[in-house]
Amino acid sequence: MNCPCGTQKTYSECCEPAHKNISSVTTAEQLMRSRYTAFVMANGDYLMESHHSSTRPTSEKDAIVSWAKSVSWIRLEALETTKGGPSDTEGTVSFNALFLENGEVDVIREKSAFVKENGHWTYVGYAT
């Protein structure tokens, strides 16, 4: 199966290594992709693990998982990236995540901020 994040690689070659070991993720874009795939798969544990501890929505985990399961994910469009490379400690990634909710296409358009915490990339929130 092709990875849900749209790289044309299989899940086992793309986001699965991230889901098994977040420290294997080398770039902010890869982390963003692995989080999209975790939404598609309703992998709440990874969504929490990949969140920076300062903004991690632990109390909303169940609601996030329920919502992720309730929609049909269409595709991810990765747009601009700043920094976020293997030797960086911060970066931003802009993306569109398209999904079908209650029969209508909706889209999350976001410029996200990522920083490294405990030696691996994490999602902080909206970039300013």
CB of 5: closest distance to Zn ion in angstroms? Answer: 3
Q: Shortest Cβ distance from residue 123 to Zn ion (Å)? A: 15
Chain positions contacting Zn ion, by CB under 5 A: 3, 5, 14-15, 33, 37
State the sign of the Cα–Cα–Cα–Cα dihedral 67, 16, 45, 115.
Answer: negative
Q: What's the closest the beta carbon of residue 95 comes to Zn ion, in angstroms?
A: 13
CB contact at 8 A, 33 and 78: yes
- Which CB sits closer to Zn ion, 1 or 62? 1
In the block, tokens 């080398």 appear at: 26
- What residues are paired with 121 via a beta bridge? 116
For Zn ion, which is the closer residue by CB, 2 or 72? 2
